[in-house]
Amino acid sequence: MVKPSRYRSKRYDKKLDADVERIRALALDRIKKEQMRMYQVRLTRLQDYVLRICSKYGIMSNAVAYYTTFTQQVSSACRNFSGKTLDKKVREIYSQYKKKGLRSQALFDLIKFACPRIDPYSWPLMCYAKMCVARIAC
């Protein structure tokens, strides 16, 4: 049974109060600015490292965007997953970009940077006939 409106309005006065709404809006704005600042710092750091790795391995500048996207995806997976799920997700991302023809050594270095919890060098080797670097869906 629904209570009379005068009881319901007392309960929700704070939700309709202008001061409370203003405080919530200011807090939300502050949180958005902080998240954007942290994202910019993370992205700048990531791009600098990707450029360093690409120059180390002599990768052409037109392929840097693929390596940057790869690193962003690995970093996102590292923030959202853990354990075996994280390992499986990173292997899937690795295999997807390896099929595009990116260098596996550079990808391994980027994995170590984007997600220090994973050691791609410990992945068992297999698929000698196909010349795969790591044990992934070959």
Asked if residue 100 lies in contact with residue 67, where contact means CB atoms within 8 angstroms, the answer is: no
What is the tens place of the pLDDT at every residue in 87-135? 899 999 999 999 999 999 999 999 999 998 888 877 765 443 344 544 4
* Residue 87 to residue 75: CA distance in whole angstroms: 12
CA 40 from centre of chain: 13
pTM of the predicted model, to two decimals? 0.71
pLDDT at 121: 76
Tell me 98's DSSP state.
Answer: H
The encoded tokens of residue 15 equal 């939700």
Q: Is the dihedral of CA 43, 44, 48, 49 positive or negative?
A: negative
Asked if residue 53 lies in contact with residue 64, where contact means CB atoms within 8 angstroms, the answer is: no
What is the tens place of the pLDDT at every residue in 64-83? 999 999 999 999 999 999 98
- Ordered domains of the chain (ranges, CATH): 5-122 (1.20.58)
What SS3 state is found at 128?
coil
Helices in the chain by DSSP H: which ranges? 5-11, 13-16, 18-56, 64-80, 83-99, 104-114
Task: Give the DSSP letter string of 54-90.
Answer: HHHTT--GGGHHHHHHHHHHHHHHHHH--HHHHHHHH
What SS3 state is found at 134?
coil
